[in-house]
Chains A and B, each alone.
Chain A
Amino acid sequence: MSLSLCLLAASVLPLFPLGWVFNRLVASLPAGIAQGLAALILPQLGIALLGLVPPSSTWPVSWRYGAMAWATGSALLYALRALSARDLGIWTRLMLSSGLGVVWLGWCAGAPAAVLRAVAVGWSLPGAVALFLAGVLVRRVGGAYIGLQGGLATVMPRMTASLVLAALALTATPVFPAFFALWRGLGSIPLAFVPFWLPLIFLWGWAAGRLFQDLLFGDYRGERVADIGRPSAALIGLVLLAAVVLGFHRGGVTL
């Protein structure tokens, strides 16, 4: 029963290969708000399912280490796959699937459910913003394939700025919550696992760099399109600011 619940959790709190379900579910929803909400809710559902199984501290050590190794491999694989994704929707889903592996690390290390939920939000929140913006692109440009038009910063500066901030938050950049979550996650596992997680930080940076390359630089080649409105940009800014405050709070700074 416990194993079945874990496997069910791995399909919504993505762990390869069961993460296929998460990715397929999100992709099947209409681009935009629906996908963003799914990115927020599904990982929380996975954490709720994990709450139904006995705590990992009661499991044999070899099982726990096996689960850690699985989470590590899964996160690395998704990050590697994100390198070649040029569609913003696919890129975000793969990055999200990779980052949420940290939640599994926390669970294996015996972190309480409240901490796991906060860690998941650290990735889900910017992921949801990026998926929402992918929906905006699909509606206005006809697709979220970033490399197609190039230089979106010149025609959609507010959308680009919001997307850049979301991508930075998604790739565990300080001072966003994912950075602090990663620090705490890596601090709670045996040191032998750390060298396998470090290439992940490199792959995230590489994937973000490739996204920015297509998004920011060069001349825009598409038709004239409207940028997102100031209220939307302000709302995204506030959401990410709230994430920063959450990050500082989790990071241990007294505000």
Chain B
Amino acid sequence: MILGSLGVWVPVLPAASALVILAFLRRARRPAARVSVATLVLTLALALALLVRYLMEGGVAAVDSGGIFGSLWLDPLSLVLWAFVSGISLIVHIYSVRYMAEEPGYARFFALLDLMTAVILVMVSAANLLTLLAAWFLVGVLLYFLLGHDHRRPAAGRYAFWTQITYRFGDLPLWFAALILVHYYHSTSLPVIFARIQHGPPALLWGLPVTELAGFLLALAAFARSAQFPLHVWLPYTMDGPTPVSALMHAGIVNAGGFLFNRFAPLFVHAGWVLHWAFGVGLTTALIGSGLMLMQNDIKRSLGYSTMGQMGFMVMECGLGAFSLAVFHLIAHGFFKASLFLGSGDVIGDARAHDGVPPDPIYTSVVERRPAKPSRLPCLVAASLTVVVPIVVLSLSHFFVAEHLFYEQGVVVLLFFGWVTGAQALFAAHKMSQQDPWRLMIGILASFVVIVIGYTLISHYFGRFLYPDEHESLMLYRAASIHELSFDALVLFLAAVFVGGWTLTFFTDSFELGRNLGGAWRGVYLGLYALLSRELYVADVYERISQILLQWSRRLNVWLGWC
């Protein structure tokens, strides 16, 4: 009861702040910022108090509006995301106080930030479909105005429009999924719908199970919101908006896809193939996002592609059934990326002061009189360390924390990716030229062990917090599983691909094969480079499609005399 009555204030406070600023403080810059920041401090304090209260006493509460719109659901997912969203929003608010000081529309900016915070808080705690849909929709609208805050720059407007139109596209499957669920389960209340899915007979629509069709549509909505390939084009280009908005977007808003998967977890238990599809889309996005990130020479756009890669990993985790891990990932990534964005100005300042050009071996040898090629570890030792150590550390840590999960395919794939990432980190460390390679390797290994153990423990306990019913977690892993033989073959194939890739990289580096490319291979290399530097031509395809539609529209209007 207390949880519910206090909880309703969490989204109401920032909304009230926005209204006060718009109504009374539009010309009062400092008071507007003070009201906004003070309100966010209160909101965060309240969100944290509610979270602590839940941790101590437990119990899920609901705030019922008495209608089909406006109800809130205060479960562990809502409470943890309330604390996360209000925390990130407070950081962004405090940063904006000085960062936006010379910008026009200062008070309006804070009002929009407050409104956005309120809407996200409603979205993550919505207890019925209409509330969720309205908040989901409004996030896109408010983001448009925040990204286009500087009216003097047409580029800001253009890229804000890209974001708005992609978000609107992503709203459509959510509309359809919501209508299907209401049609078949005769309620807009999410807890009621989930209970009926669990206990009711399976329903069919157009020959497909309703849960699978709705799951497919929900996944599509999540993909658009979380910049999954090929719906990613807007994300790297939103950098024309103010930096605090970029931070808020990359740290919070873009993570909404992971939230949607978690909110509808009871439905995805019955939609196994949708999870496989999400794994594929997430993996593709992670690879493309991370690849394109390496090609950028603009720090903010590079961070944009980094976010795309991370969102790919997050969706991939959902595809594996590790739903709680996706939430942990989005929170960790949110704080990490917010700090990177808010610190990007300092990085640019430092880069102007120090050019950061990598040292040239000849220069090092001749001018600085240091050995041009310091020693490295022996190849065999390095290969053993990079391949064997990560797998031992990962397996042991997970085995001790949650042995029974060790046999789930999703967990094995996550461990596999942990092994790949760890081995890649060690491999990269080995390639670094150092005077004392053993010291470097031991340092990297120690960090790796600490990270793996910390991550395993946190993800395990966080999973138990989000999904107290362990059966539900197991059901999600089972839904994401495939045939055992196919699974084993896939893991072996991927392992061979990665080890082959490392070997190829090693020999390419050692024998400088890249410089001796000729004939057809050079053409392939240049074609690939052009494809990636044009960001796979995805934006160009969208541009062409929109031009064709606009042409039809104009012709129709001319034929019909604009009436």
Contacts and interface: CB of A to CB of B under 8 A. Distances in A.
A180 B70 CA distance: 13
Nearest to A189: B179
Contacts of A153: 151
Contact of B68 (A81, A85, A251): A251
Given A173-B138, A253-B70, 18 more contacts: A81-B556, A153-B151, A174-B138, A179-B137, A191-B180, A191-B183, A201-B172, A202-B165, A205-B171, A209-B164, A210-B161, A212-B144, A213-B157, A213-B158, A217-B151, A217-B156, A248-B69, A253-B65
A251 B69 contact: yes
Interface of B: 65-70, 130, 133-135, 137-138, 141, 144, 148, 151-154, 156-158, 161, 164-165, 168-169, 171-172, 175-176, 179-180, 182-183, 205, 549-550, 552-554, 556-557, 560, 562-563
Range of interface residues on A (Cβ < 8 Å): 35 or more
A119 to B, nearest CB: 16
A131 B449 CA distance: 66
A216 B151 contact: yes
Given A198-B172, A202-B172, A251-B67, A84 B148 contact: no
Contact of B157 (A81, A205, A212): A212
A98 to B, nearest CB: 12
A202 B169 contact: yes
A141 to B, nearest CB: 18
A217 B560 CA distance: 30
Nearest to B128: A252
B176 A194 contact: yes
Contact of B562 (A85, A180, A201): A85
A206 interface: yes
A88 B500 CA distance: 61
Contacts of B176: 194-195, 198
A207 to B, nearest CB: 9
Interface string A23-39: 11001000000000000
A157 B485 CA distance: 65
Interface in A183-198: 183, 186-187, 191, 194-195, 198
A175 B156 CA distance: 26
B172 A84 contact: no
A194 B181 CA distance: 13
A65 interface: no
B148 A206 contact: no
A175 B134 contact: yes
Contacts of A77: 556
Contact of B553 (A27, A84, A168, A195): A84
A42 interface: no
A80 interface: yes
9 contacts: A80-B549, A84-B550, A183-B130, A195-B176, A201-B172, A216-B148, A216-B151, A217-B158, A218-B151
